[in-house]
Amino acid sequence: MNDLMLIKEMLRDLPNAAYTCDEMGFVKAYNKAAVELWGREPVAGQDRWGGSWKTFNADGSSLKPGECPMAKTLMQQKPVYGKEIIVQRPDNSLRHVITYPAPLYNEAGKISGGINILIDITENKQQPNSENDQYRDIIEYAADGIFIFDRQGNFLSANTSGCKMLGYTRDELILLNVADIMPVAYRGKLPVATDRLFQGETILAERQFVKSEGTLFFGEISASLTGNGNIQAIVRDITQRRTAEQQLQKRVERHNILTEATADTIWDWDVVNNKMFYNEGITKMLGYQVAEIKNLTNWWKKNIHPDDFERVCKTVDEVFSSRKKNSHLTYRFKCADDSYKFIYDRWLTIFDKYGRPERMVGVMQDVTKYKEEDVRITKAIIETQESERRIIGAELHDNVNQILTGCLLNLAMIKSATPEKVSELAETSREYLLTAISELRKLTHRLVPVTESNTGSPVELFENLVSSMNINRQFRVHTDFAELNSNHIDDDTALSLYRMLQEQLTNIVKYSKATAVDISIAVSDNTIVMRIYDNGQGFDARLVTMGIGLNNIKKRIRLLDGVFTLNTSEGNGCEIIAQVPVSKQVVAA
């Protein structure tokens, strides 16, 4: 149900004539009682300020449309209560009416229209009664507090809403003076200047009042003289509105301070109206002038890096569908000079009562230096590891290999040696073997990088790696490495895949308790996909922190701008999927 339908439902249940106008004064909604009072149905887009056929002042003089109570209320953005007018129907019959128009505000605190309640006092005009009788119906039907007091401030009458507002019964209130409901700082004073009232003015003001239990509330008061010289005051409790305004003012002040203090870009997206605001941080960070940016939402989407666009849109859609309040992501954004920066974007999403997104407020932070440094460090680590493997490989060749060669020579000499010499050669060979074992124990990493090995094709290298991890044949292994021989996988990518497989096979041997392993590498839609699955014990990824091996795999995939996926749970094995894009150099070739 939209807001207009809700208003119509509300008006329908009111006993008196009531209607609403938009901010321009055109009639939007009205109830059956209003139609009966006017003697006609308003014409949409034509009737303004009200639905009367003709309107006059209480003395019979013509009332200009722009001077009617609703027009003044919308122009002044304040209630104009208690104005008596005469409504002439199309059948020329007249009705005397007291009007109670008040402005309506939207959630941003801006005026969005007005609402008017019309009290028909024609019967009272035709059969005059005492003042209390004349106003009894008006007072009792009003939602605001309506009070009558004399010139000294002594209460004479109050409606039910007024009694509830102050926390007194009607009998208790009659014994009080208006000064008794004023705060301590204004005790003994009236809430309005009576001299202005006696000059015929209607006074509008906002004041604080004290309830019977001592608590304070803010009231919007409209005071005027009645026909016999008493004072009528209509009070509306605006405590919530004042509190909201104060909170908004504090937010504005904090926002202004934050805007001045930070070089980050602060943005505010009105999702309903598809409008976006940026602070001056957009100029400092990306080089754009806010005044020069047209159609902000489309501009933002257009400047997201093409490779990140789908991921960013998917994240925003997921936020909307899951009603997630706090979110963040990192993506690349084009600067005014056509270069790209890495942006860390975090935001808060505000939803309406139906769960629909209304507003998103966030901060964009330039993390390009951190991203580049992370890539540099990751590359340096990998290059260091590969350099270390080369050194170890060379040491195996130049040191351990020579020791084992010496051992073989000694063993070969045993066949032709004398009995006395055999024992000496055997002991020397034993010492060679012990030395070789000691050297091998110092070597904890794999040797020469796969791309520099001369042991065979890429498929053979990967197959040999799997075989070396399954010497005791404790696993049933299925592999599919056919795509490794294609031209889609360059040497650097192949090396990264090799090291990732090496890390995970080590994890499987040490921790999985698996009996079967399935490994495949495929190329599809310019994406290389490596899948490693074991049927072991698995683990709860939410509770178990990933070890060095899995973290190394994630770093390598991130360095290749790829996607890492881990599927595992207790008792259901473990599956790792690495998706990395085909190298641009390979595609160009």
* Measured distance CA(303)–CA(309) in Å, rounded: 9
* Measured distance CA(335)–CA(286) in Å, rounded: 5
Residue 122 tokens read as: 């024609």
Residue 539 tokens read as: 């683990």
Tell me the DSSP string of 103-118: EEE-TTS-EEEEEEEE
* Measured distance CA(33)–CA(17) in Å, rounded: 4
Predicted confidence at residue 587, as pLDDT, reads 41
* Measured distance CA(184)–CA(346) in Å, rounded: 47
Q: What single letter denotes the amino acid at residue 53?
A: W
Rg, Å, the chain Cα set: 42
Tell me the DSSP string of 306-359: HHHHHHHHHHHHHHHHHT-SEEEEEEEEE-TTS-EEEEEEEEEEEE-TTS-EEE
* Residues contacting residue 93 through CB under 8 Å, at least 6 positions apart: 39
Predicted confidence at residue 136, as pLDDT, reads 58
Q: Name the stretches of the chain with pLDDT < 50.
A: 1, 128-132, 134, 444-454, 584-589
Mapped onto helix, strand or coil, the DSSP state of residue 313 is helix
The pTM (predicted TM-score) of the whole model is: 0.33
Predicted confidence at residue 296, as pLDDT, reads 72
Do residues 218 and 191 touch, judged by C-beta distance below 8 A? no
* Measured distance CA(589)–CA(579) in Å, rounded: 21
Do residues 573 and 536 touch, judged by C-beta distance below 8 A? yes
* Measured distance CA(503)–CA(446) in Å, rounded: 11
Mapped onto helix, strand or coil, the DSSP state of residue 213 is coil
Residue 531: strand pairing partners: 520, 577
Predicted confidence at residue 325, as pLDDT, reads 87
| DSSP label at residue 41 | P
Predicted confidence at residue 588, as pLDDT, reads 39
- Going by DSSP bridges, is the β-strand pair 275-278/326-334 parallel, antiparallel, or unpaired? unpaired
Predicted confidence at residue 1, as pLDDT, reads 45
* Measured distance CA(290)–CA(246) in Å, rounded: 28
Predicted confidence at residue 4, as pLDDT, reads 61
Length of the chain measured in residues: 589
Do residues 218 and 206 touch, judged by C-beta distance below 8 A? yes
* Measured distance CA(89)–CA(95) in Å, rounded: 8
Do residues 119 and 141 touch, judged by C-beta distance below 8 A? yes
Burial of 375: CB neighbours in 10 Å, binned 0-12, 13-18, 19+: middle
